[in-house]
C-alpha cells in the first residue's frame, strides 16, 4: 500500500506539483488567505482535490504555524536507496552532484535544491563525513528532498570508480586546478565533485577524478559556499547540454527540410534560402545531396553570408530580379507562434528575407523547439531603420512600451545590414496582435522593415525536438 505523508508550504507543494501532481491526494488550504500568492498557487493546482479548512486544522496537521496556509497529503515518491539502484534508473545522460563531505544541514538542503533545479538525478556523499537528511535540510531543500535522492556511500573513492565504470565522467573542483569551468566539457554523462565546506576535496577523491577544474573568481573572497559553487557548475553543465542539443536539433531539422524540399519541389526549380545557423545547416544538407545543377537550377539567398556559403559549395546564386517564380523559401526564425507568425532578423537579414518570402509560394520555417512560443516578443524585435530616423523611431518604440536598443558590433560600432542600414532591437514587447503591430511599425517613415512576419507568415514549420520532427501547417 502506498505510504502517505504530509507536505506543507508553497515551495514544497509546488515542487511536488511540478514533479508529479498525480502523487498528491489532496491539498488542504486556508480560504481566509486571499492574497496573490495563494491565488497563483490554487490556479496551478488544477486537477488536484482542494479542500478549504480552518487555520487550526492546518497547524495541527503540519505541526507548525509555518505552513503558509497550505498542506498536502501525498504518496511517497520512491527514491533510489543506493548507487546501484540509482545507476539502474538513469536513462540517457547522467548529471550527479557529489559532495566530498557536507556537515551543515543548511548547505545540504541548499545543494539538494540547486541539484534538483539543474536537473541532476541525485546528490551523493560519503556516509562518515555527511550530515543526515534532517528536518532542517529538508526544509531548506524546499521540496527537493522528496524528489532528488540523497545517497550516502561508505567509500567515496570506490563509488566514484563505480560511476566511471558506468561511463560517467568524474569532474572535480579545486581552486588550484589549471583549467577553468568554462574550458571544461560538461555536456556528457557527468558526476560533479565538490569539496567539503572548508577543506576542499580529499587527496584520494581528487586522484580518482578524471579531471579537475576551477571556478574563476573576479572578486577578492577566497571561496564560495558549497551550494553556490554547486549551482554555478551544475548550471554551466546544463547550459552546455542545451547548446549541444540545440545544435543537434538544428542539424536534424535541416536534413529533414532538405528531404522535404526534394520530395515536394518541381524539377529545375530555384530554391529560396534564408540566413542564420539553421539556414547554414540547410545549405550544407542540400550541398551534401548534390542536387544543384541537376535537380535544382540554383538558389536565391537572403544575405551576403548565405550567398558566400552557397558559392563555397559551388552552388549558383541568382539575383531575385532574374526569376519570376519561386516555389519555396526555407529559413529559420527567432520565434514562431501557433499561427506561423514569426519574429525574424536575429541575423540581421530581415529585409531581404521579407522580400524573398513575398515572392515565394511556400515559406517553410525550420526551427528547433526552443523557438516555439505562445506570444511573440520574448526575443527582442529587430527593426531595420534608416540611420537618420534612429532616434525618432526609438522614441516611438518607447511610447509603445518597448525598450529600443541599437544593435552594435563587437567593436561597439553600430551594426550595419547588407543594405547599409542600422537595426534597433526592441525588447519587452508583448506582441498579442502581430498583424496590427507589423502594419503600424511598417507605416512609420524611416522604418525599412520590421522583423515581424505575420502578414506573410510561414505556411509550414518543420520543428525539431527530442521527440523528432513535427510538421505543422498554417492555414
Ligand atoms: O531571421 C534570421 C536572420 O535574420 C534567422 O532566421 C533567425 O535569426 C534564426 O537564426 P538561427 O537559425 O541562427 O537561430
Q: What is the DSSP string of 188-207?
A: SSEEEEE-BTTTBS-HHHHH
Residue 94, C-beta contacts closer than 8 angstroms, at least 6 positions apart:
121, 163, 166, 168, 189, 190, 191
Vertex 145, ends 222 and 244: CA angle to 5°? 65
Atom of ligand 1 nearest to the CA of 250: 12
Length of the chain, in residues: 475
Q: Which residue from 345, 346, 418 has its CB within 8 A of the most atoms of ligand 1, so it is best to mutate?
A: 346
CA of 367 to the centre of ligand 1 (A): 9
Ligand 1 contact via 350 beta carbon (within 6 Å): yes
Q: Write out pLDDT tens, residues 204-216.
A: 999 999 999 999 9
Nearest CA to 11 out of 148, 118, 113, 79 is that of 113
* Interatomic CA distance for residues 190 and 170, integer angstroms: 6
Nearest CA to 279 out of 167, 356, 170, 393 is that of 356
The strand pair at 270-273 and 326-331 is best described as parallel
ipTM: 0.98
The answer to whether the beta carbons of residues 126 and 152 sit under 8 Å apart is yes
pLDDT at 1 over 60: no
The answer to whether the beta carbons of residues 365 and 357 sit under 8 Å apart is no
Residue 445, C-beta contacts closer than 8 angstroms, at least 6 positions apart:
389
Atom of ligand 1 nearest to the CA of 349: 4
> And the C-alpha cell for 54?
480552518
Q: Which residue from 247, 274, 334 has its CB within 8 A of the most atoms of ligand 1, so it is best to mutate?
A: 334
Nearest CA to 25 out of 36, 17, 33 is that of 17
Rg of the chain over Cα atoms, rounded to whole angstroms, equals 27
Q: Mean pLDDT for the chain?
A: 93
Instruction: Give the pLDDT band (50/70/90) at residue 3.
Output: low
Say what the pLDDT of residue 123 is.
Answer: 97
Q: What are phi and psi of 58, to 5 degrees?
A: -60, -45
Say what the pLDDT of residue 407 is.
Answer: 95
pTM for this model (two decimals): 0.59
Atom of ligand 1 nearest to the CA of 331: 6
Say what the pLDDT of residue 245 is.
Answer: 80
> What mean pLDDT comes out for the span 352-380?
96
> And the C-alpha cell for 121?
538525478
Ligand 1 contact via 275 beta carbon (within 6 Å): yes
Ligand 1 contact via 394 beta carbon (within 6 Å): no
* Interatomic CA distance for residues 62 and 70, integer angstroms: 9
Ligand 1 contact via 331 beta carbon (within 6 Å): yes
Ligand 1 contact via 276 beta carbon (within 6 Å): yes
CA of 331 to the centre of ligand 1 (A): 8
CA of 47 to the centre of ligand 1 (A): 39
Nearest CA to 327 out of 256, 257, 265, 259 is that of 265
Amino acid at each position: 500500500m502506498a505510504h502517505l505523508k504530509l507536505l506543507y508550504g508553497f515551495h514544497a507543494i509546488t515542487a511536488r506539483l511540478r514533479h508529479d501532481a498525480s502523487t498528491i491526494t489532496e491539498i488542504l488550504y486556508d480560504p481566509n488567505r486571499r492574497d496573490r500568492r495563494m491565488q497563483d498557487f490554487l490556479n496551478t493546482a488544477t486537477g488536484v482535490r482542494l479542500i478549504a479548512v480552518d487555520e487550526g486544522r492546518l497547524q495541527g496537521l503540519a505541526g507548525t504555524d509555518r505552513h503558509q496556509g497550505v498542506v498536502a497529503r501525498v504518496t511517497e515518491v520512491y527514491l533510489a536507496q543506493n548507487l546501484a539502484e540509482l545507476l539502474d534508473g538513469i536513462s540517457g545522460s547522467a548529471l550527479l552532484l557529489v559532495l566530498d563531505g557536507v556537515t551543515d544541514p543548511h548547505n545540504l538542503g541548499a545543494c539538494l535544491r540547486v541539484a534538483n533545479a539543474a536537473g541532476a538525478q541525485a546528490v551523493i556523499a560519503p556516509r562518515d563525513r555527511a550530515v543526515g537528511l534532517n528536518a532542517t535540510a529538508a526544509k531548506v531543500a524546499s521540496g527537493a528532498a522528496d524528489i532528488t535522492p540523497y545517497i550516502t556511500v561508505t567509500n567515496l573513492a570506490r563509488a566514484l570508480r563505480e560511476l566511471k565504470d558506468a561511463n560517467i565522467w568524474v569532474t572535480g573542483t579545486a581552486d588550484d586546478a589549471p583549467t577553468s569551468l568554462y574550458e571544461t566539457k560538461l555536456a556528457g554523462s557527468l558526476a560533479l565533485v565538490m569539496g567539503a565546506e572548508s577543506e576542499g576535496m580529499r587527496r584520494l577523491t581528487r586522484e580518482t577524478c578524471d579531471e579537475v577544474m576551477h571556478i574563476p573568481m573576479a572578486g577578492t573572497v577566497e571561496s564560495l559556499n558549497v551550494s553556490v559553487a554547486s549551482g554555478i557548475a551544475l548550471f554551466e553543465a546544463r547550459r552546455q547540454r542545451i547548446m549541444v542539443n540545440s545544435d543537434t536539433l538544428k542539424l536534424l531539422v535541416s536534413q529533414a527540410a532538405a528531404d522535404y524540399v526534394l520530395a515536394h519541389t518541381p524539377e529545375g526549380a530555384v530554391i529560396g534560402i534564408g540566413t542564420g545557423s539553421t539556414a547554414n545547416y540547410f545549405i550544407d544538407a542540400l550541398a551534401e545531396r548534390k542536387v544543384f545543377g541537376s535537380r535544382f537550377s540554383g538558389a536565391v539567398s537572403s544575405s551576403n553570408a548565405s550567398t558566400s556559403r552557397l558559392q563555397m559549395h559551388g552552388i549558383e546564386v541568382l539575383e531575385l530580379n532574374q526569376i519570376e517564380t519561386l516555389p519555396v523559401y526555407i529559413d529559420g526564425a527567432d520565434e514562431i507562434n501557433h499561427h506561423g507568425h514569426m519574429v525574424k532578423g536575429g541575423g540581421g537579414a530581415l529585409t531581404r528575407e521579407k522580400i524573398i518570402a513575398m515572392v515565394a509560394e511556400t515559406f517553410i520555417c525550420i526551427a528547433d523547439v526552443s523557438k516555439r512560443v505562445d506570444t511573440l516578443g520574448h526575443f527582442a524585435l529587430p527593426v531595420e531603420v534608416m540611420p537618420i530616423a534612429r532616434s525618432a523611431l526609438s522614441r516611438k518604440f518607447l511610447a509603445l512600451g518597448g525598450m529600443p536598443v541599437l544593435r552594435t558590433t563587437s567593436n561597439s560600432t553600430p551594426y550595419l545590414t547588407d543594405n547599409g542600414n542600422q537595426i534597433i532591437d526592441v525588447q519587452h514587447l508583448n506582441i498579442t496582435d502581430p498583424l496590427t503591430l507589423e502594419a503600424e511599425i511598417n507605416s512609420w517613415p524611416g522604418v525599412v522593415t520590421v522583423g515581424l512576419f505575420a502578414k506573410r507568415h510561414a505556411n509550414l514549420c518543420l520543428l525539431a525536438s527530442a521527440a523528432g520532427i513535427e510538421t505543422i501547417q498554417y492555414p
